[in-house]
Amino acid sequence: MDTGRCRSCGAIDLQRTVCRESYLGGGQTLRRCGICAAVYLAPDFTPESLDLFYREHYRRLFPSETIWRSERRFFAWRGDRPVAEIRLARIAPHLPAGAHLLEVGSGFGAFLGAAATLQGVRLSAVEPDVANRLRLLDSANVEFVSGIEAASPDSIDVVVAFHVLEHLADPLASLRHVYAALKVGGRAFVEVPDLMQGSLSASYFHPAHLSYFTVSTLSRLACAAGFRIAHVGPHPNGGILAENIWLEIEKPSTAAVAPPALAAKPEEVAAVDARLDAVDWQASLARHGRRAAKHLALAMFGPGAVGELQRFRQWRELRRVGWI
């Protein structure tokens, strides 16, 4: 059901409809909140349509996620392990012996596999993809839980979520669950795509990503959940992560007074509008051609081969920046 409310702040007024989502064409629209400057897709999927999307559409729309012929090459070209090591280097100082780490959305398990090399760190994870979540764990001992809300209150030292928050229907509620699970002084590390970085096209907005964050909107969301911000900004490692936001937040020793509203200044809303208005939302000839070429390649060669080409391009970029 379409409530008309902002996905981040819940406001009904000043919700601008920007365009219809065209990547899948599932009936959602892209919206911008004039209160908090959030950008999001609505309405939500039903549980049935969400299951259908990830079961039948996701790997067709994103063929680079399809393992083809060689699993070893699949992961080598994706760069899961070197990216995990880059992230762990930033987080390891907060993981002394005896610390409890929880990853939300652990995927194939590369980060947990890397974290298992730390002495005496307890590992937990939330990952619904049972068929694939063990592939890169390298025999790490990981306790899987049903959701962040299932974690005992004040029990976790560090929570990490890489490219997860943008997938969730209620990002503020999710951050509040993280807050509840963390011990006082515990930290969360969040990585999401940055709406204000890189080039944008209509296909940037798709049903897998329900929210599109800026540094400011993500910061206000974290503060509204009760966190103290330790760091937020463009990803400090750059490279293939350059167009992402890196957020480090801490659960303070005294409960923070959450702001009464996630209000943005008018100039921030205007900057977001300018970013969105620069996108060619019309079905231009060039965009039609690119989409037709992709559909033809998928029909002729299948998602495996198309995904292999996409992964090869990522591998070249990883080599260019010296990560492999």
pLDDT along the chain (324 residues), means of 10: 92 96 88 98 88 82 87 94 98 98 98 97 96 93 95 97 97 97 98 96 90 98 96 96 98 75 91 95 64 70 85 93 90
Note the pLDDT of residue 270.
Answer: 98
The answer to whether 191 touches 247, Cβ cutoff 8 Å, is yes
68-89 exposure pattern, b = at least 16 Cβ within 10 A, e = fewer:
beeeeebbbbbbbbbbbebbbe
Select from 156, 148, 91, 152 the least CA-distant residue to 123: 156
| CA–CA dist 208, 54 (Å, integer) | 8
Q: What is the CATH number of domain 79-276?
A: 3.40.50.150
| Domain regions of the chain by residue span | 79-276
Does a cis peptide bond (omega within 30 degrees of 0) precede residue 43?
Answer: yes
Angle between helices 80-91 and 71-78 (to 10 degrees): 50
| CA–CA dist 129, 133 (Å, integer) | 6
- Tokens 């730390």 belong to 118
Q: What secondary structure letter does DSSP report for 100?
A: E
Length, in residues, of the chain: 324
Question: Can you read off the two tokens belonging to residue 17?
Answer: 């409809």
Note the pLDDT of residue 236.
Answer: 96
The answer to whether 181 touches 153, Cβ cutoff 8 Å, is yes
Note the pLDDT of residue 2.
Answer: 87
The answer to whether 43 touches 26, Cβ cutoff 8 Å, is no
Helix, strand or coil, per DSSP, at residue 178: helix
The H-or-E segment that residue 192 falls in is strand 182-193
Note the pLDDT of residue 48.
Answer: 86
Cα separation of the two ends of the chain: 46
Note the pLDDT of residue 155.
Answer: 97
* Residues paired with residue 102 on neighbouring β-strands, in sequence order: 124, 159
**C-beta neighbour count of 258 within 10 angstroms:** 14
Note the pLDDT of residue 154.
Answer: 96
The answer to whether 9 touches 36, Cβ cutoff 8 Å, is yes
Note the pLDDT of residue 50.
Answer: 83
